[in-house]
Structure 1
């Protein structure tokens, strides 16, 4: 019983760990498409735009 419980938790954590980068990459790609910057700026500039567009950088 206890082993199954912990096994399930680990499986969920592993799934989340693998899906998170894909989710971030998808959101990043979509946000670039929306902004029309995909293919027009370097990746570094796109990452900087993505980071600087977060609320904590706006102050």
Structure 2
């Protein structure tokens, strides 16, 4: 039993670290996408140009 204890602990630690890193990356991705929406990036800016009766989408 003692020989399996250290690898078991290391495996649990490795899993915990991977979960933590995944959660942190997900949080960073959420914050970046929220900031882009606040600043207007990623949103289509449509300008209508009056050209007589024809309107062009720029």
- Greater CA radius of gyration, 1 or 2? 2
Between Structure 1 and Structure 2, which shows a larger proportion of helix residues? 1
Structure richer in strand, relative to its length: 2
- TM class by shorter chain equals 0.3 to 0.5
TM-score (norm 1): 0.47
